[in-house]
Amino acid sequence: MLGLYDGDDLGPHWRLSTDHERMPDEFAMQLINLLNYVGVAREQISGVAIASGVPMLTSRWRECAATTCTAAARHQRTHAHRPHHPL
């Protein structure tokens, strides 16, 4: 899952397939294309949070974020956290 937030509000978001063969530069191209699709410039990204249950892909997404996003956005969290929402 990949999504953009504006404060607490979830904006455009996508479900991405798990592809163990894909390299960081391929993830970067996918990310850039998705951002372009919704009219968001990479410079508008002010933070990055990475939560993954697939350690191999976590490191690839980390490298993707490091090369694709601005320096201000390179805060990364690699432990999955699901907020508790009472019914």
Q: Kindly state the tokens that stand for 22.
A: 């894909």
Q: Kindly state the tokens that stand for 24.
A: 């960081």
* Pairwise CA distance, residues 21 & 14, whole Å: 20
Between these two residues, 49 and 83, which has the higher pLDDT value? 49
User: Does 78 have pLDDT greater than 60?
Assistant: no
Residues composing the chain = 87
**Confidence (pLDDT) at 13:** 93
Residues 6 or more apart whose CB falls under 8 angstroms from that of 19 comprise none
